[in-house]
Each structure stands twice: as C-alpha cells, then as structure tokens.
Amino acid sequence: MNAIYFILKYKNPFYFGVGTQADRSVVKLQMKPNEPNMTINDPRYLRKFQYRDPDNLNSRIAIHILFSTARQDWADFVFEQLNPAAGEEILELGCGPAAQWQSSLKRLPEGARLTLSDLSVGMLAGARKALADYRGFFLLAQEAQTLAVPEKVFDAVIANHMLYHVPSPARAIREAARVLKPGGRLVAATNGTAHMLELDILLREFDPRFEAETAMSRPFSLENGWEQFHAFFKNVELTPYASDLWVTDARRLSDYVYSTPAGQNCFSKEQFGEMTAFFTRRINRDGGIFIRKSTGIFRATCPK
C-alpha cells in the first residue's frame, strides 16, 4: 500500500498537513517554571523545552554552517548517502525545521515523495514555513518508536542526528526496518563520543563546576551504532564526515552552548555575557577557537 495513501485514507490523527496546503493551527507550548529536570531522550522534555520550536536547533545548525572546515556541505553529504531514485517513497524521522530539505527538496528525482515526521508540532510548523515555496511533501506528527504506518511502504528512511533522542533507539530502528520495503535502506547520522570535546574543555575552564558534555549522542553514537543497526539489518556501513570547526564569533558560540541541554542546565542567564567575553578573549588571542567534530552516517540495507 502506498504510504501517503494510507495516511490520507485512514485520516491518521497524527497527520499534520500536505505541503503548502496544511491548514491546521499550531499551539506553541510554553515552558513551565520549576519543571523537574528531564533527560535528552524524554519526549516530554523534547516537546516542551528543547524542541518546542526550531530556535535551539537552529542555533546549533548555524555554528556548523558558518564555521565548518568541511569541503562538502552537510546537506549534500546526507543527500549523497540517501541517493534517492525516481518514484521512491521517503520518510524522515525527527525532521526538525526541515534543514536538510531547504536546499535539497528541489533535487529529488521525478515522482519521489517525501514525508517529514517529528514529535513536535512546533518543529513541523517550522518545517512547513521553511518549505512554503515547495509542494510534494507531507508532514506527520509522529513519535519514531511507534509509527502509525503499515509495513513495507517506504523505500528509504532518514534519521538525521535524532536516534539518540528517542527513549529506545532500538525500538526506533526496528520501526524503521518494519516500514521499509525489502530492498529499502535506513540512513542515520550521529556523532562520536569525542564530538565537540574541545568545547567541553573550554567550558570547564570557564566554570570548573561544569561536569557535563554538550554532545548528546551517547545513546546512539558512531561507536555503538553499528551493533544497534545490525540487530535489524543485514548490511550496515559507516561513512565518516570530514569536518571540524574554527569558530570566530564568540556570541554565536555562546548561543550554541545555551541551546544545549547541558548549557541550559549548568549555566545561568547572568553568565551568558561572561561566557561570551571569555570566548572573545580566546578568539582575540588565537584568531579563533578550534573544535574537533566526530560525525558520520550509517547506511543500513536489507531489513531482517
């Protein structure tokens, strides 16, 4: 059964809209004071705080766009690994504000159809706004561990830096394998345990009380992702992405820190100016701040 036909025919309650025709109103969730501390893979935290709208994610994306040393753009790298074909049905899990598709949607081959899913309606609203000039895509408010989609309907599933956010990466991977056709593929990006390590070292120098890490990928990382994928796919390959950061804007780097769960939990609003001044002194001294990245994409085929 065609994936999009299923969503429309059965009027899935999580269905959000089709391209620029979506007309469902979006209610922006507000932060509640004194909310208990939640983990990075708690759906309540993600919906209400970290990803209630695209702002936090956009702050992080900006750093990687503006200060990357990579020779190849990240969106191009992902598109290359996806390698879509004409007429394919493609599902993205945790699409966020559709950053991947703002430059890539027009590159999809003829007849290929894209379904963008996210658990946050705020993120889907951002995706709809970002792709307002395009048609031929669908938005689906859906949690990745329990997809309301029948078996074997998609040719490709993308999970771009999001599997470490679900409570159980294994359940999300199993769901992706379930909805893929026999020859389908899962393309998933993540980071390694040393990702952005220099930033964490700097933050401990700025405030010795900082004992966390700004990276969020330990539940599904470059080091443990192969084993998690291989439980549900016969073939798994990892392609590293060559890139580091040379940051020359202190405020942008502070924005990045304050967009992360670790930064929001460990630093007060009053420390933002002090942190920016600290980064500025380092940039003035060295010309910039070097931050090593550890990023890559798993490509899994032949669902078991």
DSSP notation for 86-132? TT-EEEEES-TTTGGGTTTGGGSPTT-EEEEEES-HHHHHHHHHHTT
Is 141 a domain residue?
A: yes
| Cα gap 162→168, rounded to integer Å | 11
Contact 196, 167 (CB under 8 A): no
Indicate the SS3 state at residue 136.
Answer: coil
Nearest CA to 78 out of 104, 112, 116 is that of 104
> What is the pLDDT averaged over residues 247-252?
97
Average pLDDT over residues 118-141: 90
Q: What per-residue confidence (pLDDT) applies to 174? A: 97
165: closest CA among 123, 201, 204, 102?
Answer: 123
Inter-axis angle of helices 250-259 and 271-286, nearest 10: 130
Tokens 């443990």 sit on residue: 224
Q: What is the CATH number of the domain that holds 116?
A: 3.40.50.150
**pLDDT of amino acid 52:** 77
Which range marks the domain in which residue 224 is found? 3-19+37-194+212-243+296-303
- Strand boundaries in the chain, DSSP class E: 15-18, 89-93, 113-118, 137-141, 154-160, 180-191, 233-241, 244-247, 289-292, 295-303
- Kindly report, residue by residue over 168-195, the tens digit of the pLDDT: 999 999 999 999 999 999 999 999 999 9
pLDDT greater at residue 50 or residue 256: 256
pLDDT of 38 reads 57
Contacts of 199 (CB under 8 A, 6+ apart): 214, 253, 256, 257, 291
User: Is residue 77 a part of any domain in this protein?
Assistant: yes
**3-state secondary structure at position 2:** coil
Please answer whether residues 256 and 59 qualify as being in contact, where contact means their C-beta atoms are separated by less than 8 angstroms.
yes
139: β partners: 17, 116
Closest CA to 208 of 266, 145, 273, 165: 266
- Place 154 in a pLDDT band, splitting at 50, 70 and 90: very high
The position carrying tokens 């020359």 is 248
**Range scoring the smallest mean pLDDT among 12-21, 52-61, 93-102:** 12-21
Q: How many domains does the chain fold into? A: 1
Name the nearest CA neighbour of 46 among 55, 38, 34, 58.
38
Q: Please determine, for residue 11, whether its predicted confidence score (pLDDT) is greater than 90.
A: no
Give domain status of residue 171, yes or no: yes
Residue 168 included in any domain = yes
Task: Confirm whether 108 is domain-assigned.
Answer: yes
User: How do beta strands 15-18 and 137-141 pair?
Assistant: antiparallel
Q: What is the pLDDT of residue 37?
A: 52
Residue 300: other Cβ atoms inside 10 A: 27
Contact present, 282 and 254 (Cβ < 8 Å): no
Query: Would you say residue 206 lies in a domain?
Result: no
- pLDDT: is 35 or 50 the higher one? 50
Q: How far is it, in rounded angstroms, from Cα 163 to Cα 169?
A: 5
- CA dist 17 and 126 (Å) reads 13
Residue-averaged pLDDT of the chain: 86
Q: Report yes or no on 48 lying in a domain.
A: yes
Distance, CA of 106 to CA of 111 (rounded, Å): 12
Tell me whether residue 283 is in a domain.
no
